[in-house]
Chain A
Amino acid sequence: MSKNMKEVIEKGNAFACIQCGRCTGSCPAGRECSMRTRKIVHLAKMGEDVFAIPELWECTTCFTCQERCPKEVKTTDMIIELRNISVERNYFPSMAGVPRIIIKNLYDTGSGQPLSPEVAKMRSIIGLAKDPCDVSRDEKDLKAFQRLLDSLPLMRGVAK
């Protein structure tokens, strides 16, 4: 987990980048928006605060760019690490809404997508346990899980 741009560049092997553009050429998101993978790597190498740019959040982490990079630059891994720094420094823009709800759900129920009563009913109709085996089934497990989450940086900034 990189704490600063220097670590991100080193871990991501960004120094090897020759700006060939194969990453952007492979990017399925880049065809539909203004994110340019290659530019992100270049800005990082130049020492810019890339974690502050909104396009950083348009990557679906499909890994095609990292797969095809001829210099073995870890493009997708770098984007994820940059997002971590962004969150830590409170830069994340449009992700304010729904993703935070997912983390809150994770804390409250142990699942990012919790089980609704309707779906619980559907489960029993098709022959599955209404109350599935997961961390929320036993109160003790869920409480332990929440204690674990309390000790982690993830919950920072998410109202409980």
Chain B
Amino acid sequence: MRVGVYVCHCGINIAKTVDVERVVKEISKMPNVVICRDYHYMCSDPGQELIKKDINRYGLNSIVIAACSPRMHFKTFQEALKSAKLNPYMLEMANIREQCSWVHDDVEEATKKAIALVKSAVAKAAQLEPLVENDSPVVPAALVIGGGIAGIQSALDIANAGFKVYLVEREPSIGGHMAQFDKTFPTLDCAACILTPKMVDVSRHRKIELLAYSEVDDVTGFIGNFHVKVRRKPRYVDEERCVACGDCATECRLFNRIDSEFDEGLGKRAAIYVPFPQAVPLKYTIDPERCLFLTRGKCGDSPKCVDVCDANAIEFDQEGRTVEFDVGTIVVATGYDSFDATKKPELMYDKLPNVINGLQYERFFAPNGPTGGELVMPDGTVPKKVVFVSCVGSRDKKVGNPYCSRICCMYSTKQAHLTKERVPDADVTVFYCDVRAFGKGYEEFYERVQEEGVKYRRGLVSEIYRDDDGKVHVRAEDTLLGEPIDLEADLVVLATGIVPKATTRSLAQKLHISHSPDGFLLEAHPKLRPVDTVTDGIFLAGCAQGPKDIPDTVAQAGAAAAHAIDILAKGKITIEPYNAVVNPDLCGGCRICEMLCPFDAHHYNEAKGVMEINDTLCKGCGVCGAGCPAGAITLNLFRNKQIICQIGAILDE
């Protein structure tokens, strides 16, 4: 082997603590080392030119670079090797910065350590073999899971780029939580007015196949080649025939008897329903748990919906079916749930009818809500004293949610404004801890709402009770005055926070993606890779990844789409050969590696009786190699011989 070694100063980052010249002197004495140099910044253009020139001049066939962490510039140096016509895997880096000069003070000790590290790298470099990067084709289609604003945006962006999108949504209609809002902060745009055009775009787009009222059951495969199984739940209504005239719902025996999910339990629906008038797809669905015919086998003399449907669209014998398809990338946009305020019993959410949560209050204002947009209580009165309670289920370790839900300060401010708009002489107080008005126009909106007469008292509500006259009271400390207060209210709105959807955990397991301790899906890097996951080809958008408002959701959805399009447009993916390899002569087919692999990369070949590894799924983690009792598995770039030589070089010191 003809090894070239380059020791970087990295300015003073390395050279201040490591005697670089001495390292060069020691390494030059090693066998296989043809040339050993030092330079101030190896990653710079001149630094790389140095390497390329030496490869040509000295016929080098293996390169060692002693510098920073390979996570910084490994690819950079690989490019340098490639342009000098050397296989990019004939490269080894010794980290003498993050693991040496940056963590030690003693120059003598640090230099000795650096010498040992470089010797070890040289020993490995002498054992490297050229490796080949394979290509794998990409199916030119994407799956978007979740049809809220995040999923809708991602789907539209990917489809507009010319690729087929399957959009899967578990509810009967797309729209998500945004469809439930009245106005959005801070512009007070009507939520439905800005959302429904996008929903219609989705339904009309040639490239988007909308699978509503469906759930993803199974996903196998890898980037470029995911195989997806989706279960289409039966609506018991023929979608082709249904024209959504609504006669069935009006005539249904359970008309107005079932709590509407869309109205957060404040409104009613029938057993056959559309969640809201602007639903997409606008098709009726029968609730299989409440419909008399489906649960008891009979509905009076005959089901009213069947009698009254001119289109003959009711199909009680409809069955669910599974559809299967392949995609190249997946975007997960499954959204959030509201925090369940019954977990804070001192706030009496489930005990007092005039203590409600933020999403429920929103339904009062929405024109398609149970009160037609009027602020009127179930008993017909108009609330004159409204109190907002911040941080319910957020910033609260007691209920397991230490994080801030980000949007509650702003949505409370918005709802306080809407309250004053409907009832100008209402006495509105917001009990807050910190007002988080972080976005564009938010602080200005907060000031405006205060000018409208909304009072902000600093202090979180500690308990709620009802007095003998039936009036609700909140207790808190006004911390700025340093006095406990007891305020009477007609209506108390709990600004409940955001929690990950209950189905997130099982979905994450299906997709082999992780979630963070707070339960939201985990991004690949908290600062620099907010839409990627550690699983190649799967991206995140919206509140599934963490609490955020609509502008951030739409931005993130676009970013996820861009990353997805990147893969689809390339048409193929290059697989780095950091994978494990099975020697079929040694493999006994015991399948232990299959059980150990966290990425499902092992496949048992029945015909040959040996294991095979899918090098696209394989991440090179090495678990199978450690577990194989026959020693039949080796890792490219971490072969046993290479490691043993490295150890030998260090111990020789």
A residues near B, CB below 8 A?
A: 18-27, 30-31, 36, 38-39, 68-72
In the complex, the chain A residue whose C-beta lies closest to that of B486 is: A31
Complex Cα gap A20–B480 (Å): 10
Q: A18-B433, A26-B462, A30-B484 are in contact. Are A70 and B391 (CB under 8 A)?
A: yes
In the assembled complex, B475 has its CB within 8 A of some CB on chain A: yes
In the complex, the chain B residue whose C-beta lies closest to that of A34 is: B482
Q: A27-B484, A31-B484, A68-B462 are in contact. Are A21 and B398 (CB under 8 A)?
A: no
A21 contacts which of B396, B397, B460, B463 (Cβ < 8 Å)? B460
When distances are taken between beta carbons in the complex, the residues of chain A under 8 Å from B479 are 19-21, 24, 38
Flag if A36 contacts B477 (CB, 8 Å).
yes
Q: Mark B455-484, 1 if CB is under 8 A from A, else 0.
A: 000111111000000000001111100101
When distances are taken between beta carbons in the complex, the residues of chain B under 8 Å from A24 are 459, 462, 477, 479, 484
Flag if A20 contacts B463 (CB, 8 Å).
no
Complex Cα gap A69–B396 (Å): 8
Flag if B395 contacts A21 (CB, 8 Å).
no
Complex Cα gap A70–B479 (Å): 16
B398 contacts which of A25, A26, A31, A68 (Cβ < 8 Å)? A68
Flag if B396 contacts A70 (CB, 8 Å).
yes
In the assembled complex, B98 has its CB within 8 A of some CB on chain A: no
Flag if A22 contacts B484 (CB, 8 Å).
no
Which residue, of B433, B458, B460, B475, has the highest number of chain A Cβ atoms within 10 A? B460
In the complex, the chain B residue whose C-beta lies closest to that of A69 is: B398
Flag if A25 contacts B397 (CB, 8 Å).
no
When distances are taken between beta carbons in the complex, the residues of chain B under 8 Å from A31 are 484
B459 contacts which of A20, A27, A68, A69 (Cβ < 8 Å)? A20
B433 contacts which of A20, A30, A36 (Cβ < 8 Å)? A20
Flag if B396 contacts A25 (CB, 8 Å).
no
Smallest Cβ distance from B600 to chain A, in angstroms?
A: 40
Flag if B458 contacts A21 (CB, 8 Å).
yes
When distances are taken between beta carbons in the complex, the residues of chain B under 8 Å from A26 are 346, 462-463, 475
When distances are taken between beta carbons in the complex, the residues of chain B under 8 Å from A72 are 397-398
Q: How many residues of B contact A (CB 8 A)?
A: 21
Complex Cα gap A109–B459 (Å): 48
When distances are taken between beta carbons in the complex, the residues of chain A under 8 Å from B463 are 25-26
Q: A20-B459, A68-B398 are in contact. Are A25 and B346 (CB under 8 A)?
A: no
- New A-B contacts (14) at CB < 8 Å, excluding given A21-B460, A23-B462, A70-B395: A18-B433, A20-B460, A21-B462, A21-B477, A21-B479, A24-B484, A25-B476, A25-B477, A25-B484, A31-B484, A38-B477, A68-B398, A70-B460, A71-B395
When distances are taken between beta carbons in the complex, the residues of chain B under 8 Å from A18 are 395, 433-434
Flag if B482 contacts A25 (CB, 8 Å).
no
When distances are taken between beta carbons in the complex, the residues of chain B under 8 Å from A71 are 395, 397
Q: A20-B433, A68-B346, A70-B398 are in contact. Are A25 and B459 (CB under 8 A)?
A: yes
Complex Cα gap A21–B396 (Å): 13
Smallest Cβ distance from A147 to chain B, in angstroms?
A: 44
Which residue, of A30, A39, A70, has the highest number of chain B Cβ atoms within 10 A? A70
In the complex, the chain B residue whose C-beta lies closest to that of A37 is: B477
Complex Cα gap A21–B461 (Å): 8
Please name 14 pairs of A and B residues whose Cβ atoms are closer than 8 Å in the assembled complex, sorted by A.
A18-B433, A21-B477, A22-B459, A24-B459, A24-B477, A24-B479, A25-B461, A25-B463, A30-B484, A36-B477, A39-B482, A69-B398, A70-B396, A70-B397
Smallest Cβ distance from A20 to chain B, in angstroms?
A: 4
A36 contacts which of B398, B460, B476, B482 (Cβ < 8 Å)? B482
Flag if A21 contacts B391 (CB, 8 Å).
no
When distances are taken between beta carbons in the complex, the residues of chain B under 8 Å from A23 are 462, 477
B:409-465 near A, CB below 8 Å:
433-434, 458-463
Which residue, of B458, B463, B484, has the highest number of chain A Cβ atoms within 10 A? B484
Q: Which 10 A-B pairs have the closest CB atoms?
A: A25-B462, A24-B477, A21-B459, A21-B477, A70-B396, A26-B462, A21-B479, A20-B460, A25-B476, A20-B433
Complex Cα gap A27–B463 (Å): 10
Flag if B398 contacts A22 (CB, 8 Å).
no
In the complex, the chain B residue whose C-beta lies closest to that of A18 is: B433
When distances are taken between beta carbons in the complex, the residues of chain B under 8 Å from A19 are 433, 479
Complex Cα gap A23–B460 (Å): 9
In the complex, the chain B residue whose C-beta lies closest to that of A16 is: B397
Smallest Cβ distance from A76 to chain B, in angstroms?
A: 15
In the complex, the chain A residue whose C-beta lies closest to that of B432 is: A20
When distances are taken between beta carbons in the complex, the residues of chain B under 8 Å from A21 are 433, 458-460, 462, 476-479
When distances are taken between beta carbons in the complex, the residues of chain B under 8 Å from A30 are 477, 484
